[in-house]
Amino acid sequence: GLRDEDAPPWWMRAMWMFVDDSDAFVDRVARDLGAMPWSLGAAALEVALGIGGDRGLQLVAHYAEKAKKRGVRNKAAALLAKEAERQGLTAEALEDRIAPDLGLRAGRPEVLDLGTVQLAIGLDGTLTPFLRLPDGSRRSTLPTSKEHDPDKVAVAKARWSQLRKDLKRVAATLRARLERAMVEGRTWTAEDFARYLTPHPLQGPVVRSLLWRVVDGPFFRVDEAGGWADRNDDAVPIGG
């Protein structure tokens, strides 16, 4: 367990017991942690982990990778490792399972409706968002027209702006984690790879942009349908 000097301050422990809106607390920690003294930030992360469910875990995983203050980064990594051990997983496997989706759904692109035209949201291999028009062309901004429904345009603008903002926050962490996995030679079972990485709305586009290899087997890429194909586009059996 935690030593007394490592435990969250009493008022944070009280919030842990009585907070009504765990998402609001996690959002506040995400917003303010950079300005907190590192000891207070570390305590805030522990409370967020205790009350925030997957969102709290996602926040801890983000700061384990990206916190500027070493003390906060080390604390977040220790919290993540402890939670992974509790679940019988490695920290990396836990991160696969809790990767944020930002409200996107794999295989079912979100559509922004402007009234006169609908645009599907897409992500490339760097997790840069784009909008696909009905004719298949891409653009990075919402088209303007006096014929668009102003109420629907307002909703679409708010969603597009928030998604771009959220992607800036999570994309670098997610890409760095997968890049580190490649450098370290991490392996996945075919089942975990197909369950947690390939279909995920954020991890999937990165996975499809990379070349993979079955251990002691062929190289392959992942296609849009989640299948494996070699350089000649011939199917590679899942699992090699």
Q: What integer pLDDT is reported at residue 239 of this predicted model?
A: 66
Q: What confidence score (pLDDT) does residue 237 get? A: 86
Distance separating alpha carbons of residues 91 and 189, to the nearest angstrom = 16
How far is Cα 129 from Cα 126, in angstroms, rounded to an integer? 9
Spell out the per-residue pLDDT of the chain, length 240, in tens: 344 445 555 445 545 444 555 677 777 787 777 788 777 878 888 888 877 678 888 888 888 877 788 888 888 899 999 999 999 999 899 999 989 899 998 878 999 999 999 999 999 999 999 999 999 999 999 999 999 999 999 999 999 999 999 998 888 888 888 888 888 999 999 999 999 999 999 999 999 999 999 998 899 999 988 899 998 889 998 765
Count of residues in the chain: 240
Residue 229 half-sphere exposure toward CB, CA atoms < 13 A: 12
Question: Which pLDDT score is estimated for 81?
Answer: 92
For the entire predicted model, the pTM comes to 0.74
Predicted confidence at residue 32, as pLDDT, reads 79
- CA dist list (Å): 165 to 93, 119, 193, 202: 26, 19, 28, 14
pLDDT at 224: 86
